[in-house]
Amino acid sequence: MANNNITSSSSSSSSSPPPVREIPGSYGLPLLGPLADRLNYSWFQGPETFFRKRIEKNQSTVFRTNVPPSFPLFLANPNVVAVLDCKSFAHMFDMELVEKKNILVGDWMPSTRFTGDRRVCAYLDTSEPQHEQIKNFAMDTLKRSSTIWVPTLTTVLDTMWDTIESQLPSGPVSYLVPIQKFIFAFSSLCIAGADPANSPDIADNGYSRMDRWLAVQLLPTVPINILQPLVEIFLHSFPYPYFLVSRDYNKLYEFVEKEGKEVISRGQTEFKLSKEDTVHNLLFIFGFNAFGGFSILFPSLLSSLESDKTGIQEKLRKEVREKAGSESGLSLRSVQEMDLVQSFVYETLRLNPPVPLQYGRARKDFELSSHDSTFKIKKGELLCGYQPLVMRDPKVFDDPETFVPDRFTGEKGKELLTYLYWSNGPQTGMPSASNKQCPGKDFVTLTTSLFLAHLFMRYDSVTITGASFSAVEKPKSKNE
Ligand code: HEM
């Protein structure tokens, strides 16, 4: 039985901390150590085995290692202290202990050319005044749009399913493009208040313009284990220049500037942001945070449905129709009563956290505890947590490697939410201007639950094969 009685922050620990131990592991020889680690991380082992092997070797979930990008053309220090269990990882939520300036993807930061020559919210530390302005703006924008989440999602999803259904007679339909189009339209409407339908170019190409802008920024840090060593040589050795996607970004900027006037004007008047700061930040939140995050989460959700062998679709359908039967309908309220649907979403986020790596730089010297040891961290050292392993901490989660759809139901399940960290904070936490937790925390889980609920209102079941739908079964009564 997992021991859930761990503290999430060193400062709130009630029992005495575990014995002090020197941080194990090493950075190796200059240049060669980082290069060997980079090749193992991105090619020979892949991130998961890379971190697992070092936990075994060091007999510790906290150790020194290098992470890419590094040698030869990145001006970045690859040395990190890995934190790979729930207890040590949680120190990164304590803003008195860690600083978050410019470390969204590690010690290296993509050029600010990608974001209008400014540092957008996700790269700002809580000590920077603009962080508070933009974070409050982001939270306010979501709060205000909450009344349109359900009707917007229903309309955009019905369009998606109608298209998929019309293509199914010719064979399996890949869901990748339809899902991305849905995410793009939904995020744009709810976050920027901008309707892609008003711009033919954006309606057709908005999602692919966004994909290219994201890919060129992030390629150096994303492990891709195909066509090696070409990937290492051409994708992981130098940053890509902005001009490759400037046309895409400018088109997206023009679209948000023209169609998102109301939200932009609120950013200026209520949050005292300049117009340019507002549009670039909106674009980042809608494009990088929301579109980027959902584009990873929805395929994971569908793959969780595909791999189930326990008849979960029937159980989900039963719950959805019970709670959102024709009288009350699908609503934010009814979806919050769907315990199994929500648990299925949480379990997907636990095993497939869309943002796998998180970083935090020590603001001062402090002591960091894992379950069994305490380590002395020096001011300036970079902590690096790899969530897919942290979320399989056997001291917190029973049967941690298995997808358990109802893990987060019932009283014990709800308590476990304290250890669900996909949003850079506990699922029970509150995003605010004084922390770096994702302001989309509830929007993301509710939207994803609504997606599932909508699916099981519309269909009795769906057959998923790889990244395609091969069949959908409509409710019997609708067929008659
Ligand atoms: C599946 C979707 C999403 C995932 C997986 C996700 C994940 C995250 C994570 C892990 C962080 C913290 C990054 C770090 O500092 O290390 C973050 C920050 C952030 N997210 Fe999300 N997010 C998602 C959707 C959204 C949405 C819908 C919004 C819309 C408001 C949003 C807005 C932000 C912002 C503004 C930050 C920076 C917070 C700060 O600087 O304090 N995200 N997100």
pLDDT at 113: 96
164 and 43 housed in the same domain: no
8 and 71 housed in the same domain: yes
pLDDT at 239: 82
- Higher pLDDT among residues 62 and 68, named by residue: 62
12 and 158 housed in the same domain: no
- Asked whether the predicted pLDDT for residue 11 surpasses 70, the reply is no
Which atom of ligand 1 approaches the CA of 124 most closely? 40
79 and 187 housed in the same domain: no
- Inside any domain, residue 229: no
24 and 70 housed in the same domain: yes
422 and 436 housed in the same domain: yes
Structural domain containing residue 277 = 128-194+260-353+400-480
Convert the pLDDT of each residue in 389-410 to its tens digit.
999 999 999 999 999 999 999 9
Picking from 364, 390, 416, the residue at the C-terminal end of a domain is: 390
- Inside any domain, residue 215: no
308 and 329 housed in the same domain: yes
Pocket of ligand 1 (CB under 6 A): 100, 104, 121-122, 124, 131, 135, 138, 142, 191, 285, 289-290, 293-294, 297, 354-355, 358, 422-424, 436, 438-440, 443-444
Q: What is the CATH number of the domain that holds 431?
A: 1.10.630.10
Picking from 370, 390, 410, the residue at the C-terminal end of a domain is: 390
Supply φ then ψ for residue 377, to 5 degrees. -100, 135
Number of structural domains found in the chain: 2
Say which residue the tokens 């909450």 belong to.
Answer: 146
Confidence of residue 69 (pLDDT cuts 50, 70, 90): confident
> If you average pLDDT over residues 158-172, what whole number do you get?
96
3-state secondary structure of 64: strand
- Inside any domain, residue 27: yes
Confidence of residue 157 (pLDDT cuts 50, 70, 90): very high
Cβ(426)–Cβ(418) under 8 Å?
A: yes
Distance in Å, CA 290 to ligand 1 centroid: 7
- Asked whether the predicted pLDDT for residue 25 surpasses 90, the reply is yes
Distance in Å, CA 335 to ligand 1 centroid: 22
189 and 266 housed in the same domain: yes
Report the nearest-CA residue for atom 19 of ligand 1.
438
Report the nearest-CA residue for atom 22 of ligand 1.
289
- Inside any domain, residue 202: no
Picking from 342, 369, 390, the residue at the C-terminal end of a domain is: 390
- Beta strands 461-465 and 468-473 are antiparallel
67 and 96 housed in the same domain: yes
Confidence of residue 6 (pLDDT cuts 50, 70, 90): low
Convert the pLDDT of each residue in 379-394 to its tens digit.
999 999 999 999 999 9
448 and 463 housed in the same domain: yes
- Asked whether the predicted pLDDT for residue 424 surpasses 70, the reply is yes
| Spatial separation of the C-alpha atoms in residues 184 and 287, rounded to whole Å | 8
178 and 268 housed in the same domain: yes
List Cβ neighbours of 425 (8 Å cut-off, separation of 6 or more): 93, 431, 435, 436, 437, 438, 441
Cβ(320)–Cβ(456) under 8 Å?
A: yes
- Inside any domain, residue 375: yes
Convert the pLDDT of each residue in 176-223 to its tens digit.
999 999 999 999 999 999 999 999 999 999 999 999 999 999 888 877
| Spatial separation of the C-alpha atoms in residues 264 and 279, rounded to whole Å | 7
3-class secondary structure per residue, 65-126: EECCCCCCCCCCCCEEEEECCHHHHHHHHCCCCEECCCCCCCCCCCCHHHHCCCCCHHHCCC
Convert the pLDDT of each residue in 285-322 to its tens digit.
999 999 999 999 999 999 999 999 899 999 999 999 99
- Inside any domain, residue 384: yes
User: Which contacts (CB < 8 Å, 24+ apart) does range 196-205 have?
Assistant: 196/255, 198/259, 199/255, 199/258, 199/259, 201/251, 202/251, 202/252, 202/255, 205/251
Which of 268, 234, 280 has the alpha carbon at shortest distance from 113? Answer: 280
345 and 450 housed in the same domain: yes
Q: Which of 23-37, 153-167, 268-282, 402-416 has the lowest mean pLDDT?
A: 23-37
> If you average pLDDT over residues 8-22, what whole number do you get?
67
Measured CA to CA in angstroms, residue 201 lies from 197, 208, 257, 303 at distances of 9, 11, 15, 31
Which atom of ligand 1 approaches the CA of 422 most closely? 10
Q: Which of 149-163, 236-250, 342-356 has the lowest mean pLDDT?
A: 236-250
- Inside any domain, residue 479: yes
Beta bridge partners of 463: 471
Distance in Å, CA 289 to ligand 1 centroid: 5
**Exposed (0-12), middle (13-18) or buried (19+): which is 170, by Cβ within 10 Å?**
exposed
- Inside any domain, residue 369: yes
3-state secondary structure of 470: strand
Whole-number percent of the chain with pLDDT over 70? 94
Whole-number percent of the chain with pLDDT over 90? 85
- Higher pLDDT among residues 4 and 445, named by residue: 445
Give the tokens for residue 153: 């999602």
Convert the pLDDT of each residue in 94-142 to its tens digit.
999 999 999 999 998 999 999 999 999 999 999 999 999 999 999 999 9
pLDDT at 240: 87
